[in-house]
Structure 1
Amino acid sequence: MIPAGGLPVELPLRTERLVLRQATDRDVDAVLAYCGDDDVVRHLPFGRLDRDGVVARMQRWHDELATDPDDVLDRDWFMTLVVEHEGGVVGDVMLRLGPQARRSVAEIGYVFSPAVAGRGFATESARRLVDAAFADFGCHRVTAMLDPANTASARVCERLGMTREADLRRDWFGDGEWSDTTVFGLLREEWTPTRRL
Structure 2
Amino acid sequence: MTYSLPIETDRLILRRYLETDYDDLLKLQSSPEVTRFLLYDPKTPEQVKESLAGRMADVPMDTDGQALTLAVILRETGQHLGEVTLFVHNADHRTGELGFVFHPASHGRGYAAEASAELLRLGFEELGWHRIIGRLDHRNTGSAKLLGRLGMRQEAHFVRNEFLKGEWTDELVFAVLAEEWSGTRK
Which secondary structure does the structure 2 equivalent of 1:107 belong to?
strand
Taking every aligned residue pair, what percent have the same amino acid on both sides? 34
Q: Give me the whole-angstrom Cα distance separating, in 1, the residues matched to 2:126 and 2:161.
A: 31
Q: Give me the whole-angstrom Cα distance separating, in 2, the residues matched to 1:171 and 1:60.
A: 28
Q: Equivalent residue for 2:55?
A: 61
Contact 1:34 / 1:114 at 8 angstroms: preserved in 2? Answer: no
Equivalent residues in 2 for 1:1-197 (5 A)? 7-63=1-57, 66-70=58-62, 73=63, 75-85=64-74, 86-102=77-93, 104-192=94-182, 194=185
Amino acid in structure 1 at the alignment position of 2:70: L
RMSD of equivalent CA atoms? 1.6
* Distance change in 2, residues 1:169/1:124 (3 Å): same
Residue ranges of structure 1 left out of the alignment (5+ in a row): 1-6
Q: 1:175, CA displacement in angstroms?
A: 2.5
Amino acid in structure 1 at the alignment position of 2:65: D
Which digits, 9 at most, give the CA deviation of each residue in 1:153-195, with x for residues without a partner?
0111011011011001233333244322100011111113757
Which secondary structure does the structure 2 equivalent of 1:27 belong to?
helix
Q: Give me the whole-angstrom Cα distance separating, in 1, the residues matched to 2:68 and 2:42.
A: 21
How many residue pairs match? The answer is 183
Q: Give me the whole-angstrom Cα distance separating, in 2, the residues matched to 1:100 and 1:191.
A: 19
Normalising by structure 1, what TM-score? 0.86
Which secondary structure does the structure 2 equivalent of 1:59 belong to?
helix
Contact 2:72 / 2:84 at 8 angstroms: preserved in 1? Answer: yes
Q: Which runs of 4+ in 1 moved over 6 A?
A: none
Deviation larger for 170-179 or 150-159: 170-179
Which secondary structure does the structure 1 equivalent of 2:10 belong to?
coil
Residue ranges of structure 2 left out of the alignment (5+ in a row): none
Which secondary structure does the structure 2 equivalent of 1:101 belong to?
coil
Amino acid in structure 1 at the alignment position of 2:73: E
Normalising by structure 2, what TM-score? 0.91
Deviation larger for 158-167 or 91-100: 91-100
